[in-house]
């Protein structure tokens, strides 16, 4: 179910619950391609970044469980169509052949699309929790938001520092 739905949303609490379930599904779905992305990556820093992000994603799921428990919500997965699409798009890179540096650049591009979605989702959920004076949930969501931003910055550093220059060299 997307953000614009035929379901009725009357309160900010209901909207936050929807956001949490969307993020919960997204994080679970992300755990599936990350090991494949790490395996496909040839740049050692990129490979390590994907492996680290898998462990981080597992912590994100634990935090979402804590937020749901705190708010009295059953942690459930509500299909995140955006992540489904982003993963589908990114999976094309996993089956692609070609120059390893160019493929690494494509992996980074796919991963950053996912990171940007997560940054938007966690920022929104954190802001809703703040508005509802739920400091506990806001803090946990902020921790994950900070980690998502850090991962995005790390991917940019890898891209700019090594992968993109290597992929741009004359063939």
* Digit-coded pLDDT (tens) for 15-28: 999 999 999 999 99
Q: What is d(CA 166, CA 163) in angstroms, rounded to the nearest whole number? A: 5
Residue 122 lies inside a defined structural domain of this protein: yes
Q: Is the pTM of this model over 0.85?
A: yes
Domain range holding 66? Answer: 12-168
Q: Domain containing 108 — which CATH number?
A: 1.20.1260.10
Residue 26 lies inside a defined structural domain of this protein: yes
Residue 143 lies inside a defined structural domain of this protein: yes
Residue 5 lies inside a defined structural domain of this protein: no
Does 151 score more than 90 pLDDT?
yes
Higher pLDDT, 7 or 63: 63
Q: What is d(CA 53, CA 132) in angstroms, rounded to the nearest whole number? A: 30
Q: Exposure pattern of 9-30 as b/e (b: 16+ CB <10 Å)?
A: eeeeeebbbbbbbbbbbbbbbb
Q: What is d(CA 3, CA 24) in angstroms, rounded to the nearest whole number? A: 14
Residue 2 lies inside a defined structural domain of this protein: no
Residue 138 lies inside a defined structural domain of this protein: yes
What total number of domains does the chain contain? Answer: 1
């Amino acid at each position: 179910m997307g953000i614009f739905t035929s379901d009725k949303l009357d309160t900010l609490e209901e909207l936050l619950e929807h956001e949490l379930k969307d993020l919960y599904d997204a994080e679970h779905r992300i755990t599936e391609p990350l090991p494949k992305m790490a395996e496909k990556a040839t740049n050692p820093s990129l490979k390590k970044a994907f492996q680290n992000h898998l462990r981080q994603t597992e912590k994100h799921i634990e935090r979402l469980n804590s937020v749901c428990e705190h708010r009295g919500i059953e942690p459930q997965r509500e299909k995140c169509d955006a992540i489904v699409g982003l993963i589908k798009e990114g999976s094309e890179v996993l089956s692609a052949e070609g120059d390893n540096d160019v493929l690494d650049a494509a992996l980074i591009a796919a991963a950053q699309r996912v990171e940007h979605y997560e940054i938007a989702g966690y920022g929104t959920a954190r802001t809703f929790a703040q508005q509802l004076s739920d400091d506990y949930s806001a803090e946990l969501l902020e921790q994950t938001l900070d980690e998502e931003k850090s991962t995005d910055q790390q991917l940019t550093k890898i891209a700019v520092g090594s992968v993109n220059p290597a992929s741009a060299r004359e063939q």
